[in-house]
Structures are given as structure tokens and as C-alpha cells.
């Protein structure tokens, strides 16, 4: 990863722990952090754990990232990008701000030939997305001094190594890849449901529990009080990894170049659909993690894809300001985020050949709600001062 980014790199057990470390290192509790309303739920909780005030940005209907033209950057101290499904945020627009890049979805995305994760003070990668290693992350930074500080902070938060749990994690990841390769996704899903292993898609993925959360926030910027929210489906998110995980991650990373051409071919095939998010058309040369389609009836589409042996994940609905009101500063206009969260259907470009018979027939989503042009400042959050 150091070779890929040209930066100093720190291995962490998960992308989410890496993001917390970066936010704690470069931001001061009480500062205002601009972030997208559409991302994994646990990201919002680790931002709160870092003692920061989440300022929810308006969303671009083109790519589901921050609409940089509709925000007043003078009102925030730092920015956390999402690079949703591998589509790049407009990193150049955030120059002059402390920028932390969440590149979990964008390990192989470049802007002007330069890898994402090298524009901000830190880029935080995931080994479980593009590489498919099941767990693990990397924090890429420019300064060796920052690397050593982050390493010391990481070591204070790591839990002891658990060899059995590590073996289970690696074997589970291997089983998932084998199921996809052998077209066994449908029976694999059935087994997972029968054993209660499948993550719930109906309702909220992580129960907010606002009263408990308010108590945890009295202890910011301490991470352990937030464990029950941040860990979600990755209970070992801050457990020390051993040699088995490291070897598996290296093996999965080395396989990435061999899948690049297939991934790009899948992106281009899906980009021909009338339902594709318009931002994809500007990145047909990028090996995106997922290709977002915007469809009228997403639930029916998910069921139809599953019947074809294509599993759907990485759905982010509701937006943060609807999910956790009172703990975030909402955008002036939340309409586009609600529209995107309701209609976005992410499709793995490596599974495009299986998905196309279904997604070719899907009805496009209605147009996004209109929004007045120009940057606007959202009202102040009801959060008490830090």
C-alpha cells in the first residue's frame, strides 16, 4: 500500500478504527466536520466518538457524494469524504480544509492520475472491499512523524490477538469468494439466514439508542464507550490481527491487478443502462467498487437479483439527519439525500454479466427533487457545546 500511494502506511484492524485515529489526530473535539449523509452507520458514531460535530452536507444527485457547490466551507473546520462506491469526491474543492479521505470504496480510483487517499492529511483504506480480505485497513499519511503518533494511538486501543476469531474471519471470507465463483450465492444466503448470520436489511442496521448515546457522549473523545455502535457487524474492529490475516490480505491485494480489466468492463456495460447514476459516465476508466443504479422499485430489484445469484449490499438509508436527529447538524435541503438513499441500487461490476438480465428491465427512479443553486449554511445543531 505504501508503494501504491507513495505514503507512509499504518496497518489497522479495520477502516473504521483507522478513521477514528485520523479524526482524533488531526481534529480537535468540538470542531465542525462536514460529511456526507450517505455512508455506513458506524461512521457517524465514530465521528461522534471523536468529539466532533457532524455537519451534514447536501448531496449531489450525480454521484451520491458531497455537493461541493452547495456548501459554505467557511462554516466548517474539516471535511470527511466518502467517495461512494468508488466515485471520487471533488477533493480539489476542499483545499485549505483539514481533509480526511475515507477511501474504503475507492482503493483503485484515481483523480488526474493520482490515487485517492493521497489528497488529504490521511487516506483510510479498507482491505475488505476491493481486495475482499474480510477485514483490515490501512491509514496512509504523508509525514513519518504522524505515522508514529498514529501507531502509538492505535496500540493503546487494540484488543489482544484472538487466533480462533482470526481464522474464522479468513475462512468466512474464503467461503464467500468460493460461493460467488461457483455460483452458490443463493444456497449460501439460505444457509446464512437459517443460522441467523445475515445482516438485517429491513429497518435500522444499528439501533441508535439516543439516551444511551447521550451518556456515551459525556466521555468523548474516548472510543470504547461507543463500541456497541461502531463495531456493528465487525465485532473485532479493533482486535489485533496476526500473521494469517496479514498473509491473506497481501494475497488478496496482489490479485487486484488481475481483476482490473474485468471490473472496468463491468462498469462500462452497466453504464449503458438508462438507470445508471450520471456521475458514473465521467469515470468509465475507473475500476469502481460498485456501479450505482437509480431505480423506481429497489426492493423488487434486490429480490430479482438474488434469484439470479447476485447479492446486494452497501445500502445506506435513511440519511444521517433522519437516522440520528438531534446529534447532527442537518442540511438546509435533505431532499436529494432521501431520494438517493431510497433509490440507489449498487451493482458489483464483477457480477455485471449475472445482473444485466435483471437490471436491463428496471424502471428508472423519478427525477431528484429540485434544489436552489448556490451554497447555503444549515441551521445550527441542537447539540450542546462540547
Quick: pLDDT tens for 345-368.
999 999 999 999 999 999 999 999
Domain boundaries, the chain: 262-359
Across 204-233, b (16+ Cβ under 10 Å) vs e yields ebbebeeeebeebbeebbebebbeebbbbe
**DSSP codes joined into one string, 170-196:** HHHHHHHHHHHHTT-HHHHHHHHHHTT
- List the single range of 99-113, 186-200, 285-299, 303-317 with lowest mean pLDDT: 186-200
Stated as kind and residue range, the H or E segment containing 81 is strand 78-81
Task: Return the CATH class of domain 262-359.
Answer: alpha beta
The percent of residues in the chain predicted with pLDDT above 90, rounded, is 84
**Confidence bin at 376 (pLDDT 50/70/90):** very low
**Cβ proximity of 255 and 130 under 8 Å:** no
Which residues are CB-neighbours of 345 under 8 A, at least 6 positions away? 275, 292, 293, 294, 295, 298, 301, 302, 312, 359, 362
What per-residue confidence (pLDDT) applies to 205? 87
What's the whole-number mean pLDDT along residues 116-121?
98
**Cβ proximity of 169 and 135 under 8 Å:** yes
HEC assignment per residue over 244-281: HHHHHHHHHHHCHHHHHHHHHHHHHHHHCCCCECHHHH
The whole-angstrom separation of Cα 213 and Cα 204 is 16
**Cβ proximity of 18 and 120 under 8 Å:** no
Instruction: For residue 378, give the 3-state DSSP assignment.
Output: coil
The whole-angstrom separation of Cα 94 and Cα 261 is 31
φ/ψ of 99, rounded to 5, equals -115, 120
CA 303 to mean position of chain CA atoms:
23
The whole-angstrom separation of Cα 178 and Cα 275 is 30
Considering only residues 376 and 50, tell me which one the structure prediction assigns the higher pLDDT.
Answer: 50
**Confidence bin at 284 (pLDDT 50/70/90):** very high
**Confidence bin at 341 (pLDDT 50/70/90):** very high
Whole-number mean pLDDT of the chain? 92
**Confidence bin at 378 (pLDDT 50/70/90):** very low
**pLDDT value at 383 more than 50:** no
Which residues are CB-neighbours of 45 under 8 A, at least 6 positions away? 206, 213, 226, 229, 230
**pLDDT value at 143 more than 90:** yes
Q: Which of 370, 369, 358, 202 is nearest to 295 (CA)?
A: 358
φ/ψ of 298, rounded to 5, equals -70, -40
φ/ψ of 104, rounded to 5, equals -55, -40
**Confidence bin at 192 (pLDDT 50/70/90):** low
**pLDDT value at 382 more than 50:** no
**Cβ proximity of 223 and 49 under 8 Å:** yes
HEC assignment per residue over 189-247: HHHHHHCCCCCCCCCCCCCCCHHHHHHHHHHCCCCHHHHHHHCCCCCCCCECCCHHHHH
Which residues are CB-neighbours of 288 under 8 A, at least 6 positions away? 85, 86, 87, 109, 263, 267, 280, 349
What per-residue confidence (pLDDT) applies to 380? 34
Considering only residues 377 and 72, tell me which one the structure prediction assigns the higher pLDDT.
Answer: 72
Amino acid at each position: 500500500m505504501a508503494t501504491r500511494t507513495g505514503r507512509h502506511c499504518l496497518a489497522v484492524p479495520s477502516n473504521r478504527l483507522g478513521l477514528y485515529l485520523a479524526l482524533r489526530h488531526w481534529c480537535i473535539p468540538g470542531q465542525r466536520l462536514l460529511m456526507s449523509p450517505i455512508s455506513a452507520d458506524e461512521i457517524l458514531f465514530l465521528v461522534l466518538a471523536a468529539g466532533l460535530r457532524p455537519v451534514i452536507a447536501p448531496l449531489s444527485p450525480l454521484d451520491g457524494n458531497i455537493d461541493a457547490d452547495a456548501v459554505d466551507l467557511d462554516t466548517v473546520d474539516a471535511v470527511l469524504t466518502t467517495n461512494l462506491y468508488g466515485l471520487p469526491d471533488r477533493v480539489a474543492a476542499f483545499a485549505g480544509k483539514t481533509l480526511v479521505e475515507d477511501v474504503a470504496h475507492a482503493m483503485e480510483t484515481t483523480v488526474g492520475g493520482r490515487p485517492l487517499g493521497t489528497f488529504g492529511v490521511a487516506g483510510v483504506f479498507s482491505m475488505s472491499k476491493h481486495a475482499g480480505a474480510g477485514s483490515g485497513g490501512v491509514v496512509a499519511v504523508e509525514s513519518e512523524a504522524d505515522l508514529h503518533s498514529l501507531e502509538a494511538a492505535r496500540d493503546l486501543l487494540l484488543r489482544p490477538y484472538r487466533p480462533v476469531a482470526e481464522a474464522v474471519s479468513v475462512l468466512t471470507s474464503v467461503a464467500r469468494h468460493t460461493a460467488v465463483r461457483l455460483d452458490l450465492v443463493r444456497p449460501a444466503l439460505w444457509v446464512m439466514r437459517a443460522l441467523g448470520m445475515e445482516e438485517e436489511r429491513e429497518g435500522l442496521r444499528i439501533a441508535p439508542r439516543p439516551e444511551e448515546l447521550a451518556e456515551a457522549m459525556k466521555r468523548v473523545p474516548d472510543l470504547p464507550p461507543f463500541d456497541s455502535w461502531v463495531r456493528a457487524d465487525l465485532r473485532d474492529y479493533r482486535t489485533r490481527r496476526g500473521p494469517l490475516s496479514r498473509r491473506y490480505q497481501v494475497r488478496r491485494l496482489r490479485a487486484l491487478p488481475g481483476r482490473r480489466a474485468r471490473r472496468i468492463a463491468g462498469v462500462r456495460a452497466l453504464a449503458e443502462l438508462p438507470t445508471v447514476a450520471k456521475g458514473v459516465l465521467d469515470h468509465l476508466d475507473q475500476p469502481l467498487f460498485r456501479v450505482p443504479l437509480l431505480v423506481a422499485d429497489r426492493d423488487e430489484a434486490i429480490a430479482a437479483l438474488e434469484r439470479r445469484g447476485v447479492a446486494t449490499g452497501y445500502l445506506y438509508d435513511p440519511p444521517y439527519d433522519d437516522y440520528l436527529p438531534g446529534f447532527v447538524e442537518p442540511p438546509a435541503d435533505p431532499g436529494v439525500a432521501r431520494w438517493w438513499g431510497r433509490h440507489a441500487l449498487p451493482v458489483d461490476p464483477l457480477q455485471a454479466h449475472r445482473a444485466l438480465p435483471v437490471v436491463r428491465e428496471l424502471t428508472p427512479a423519478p427525477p431528484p427533487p429540485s434544489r436552489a443553486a448556490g451554497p447555503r449554511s444549515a441551521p445550527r445543531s441542537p447539540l450542546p457545546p462540547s
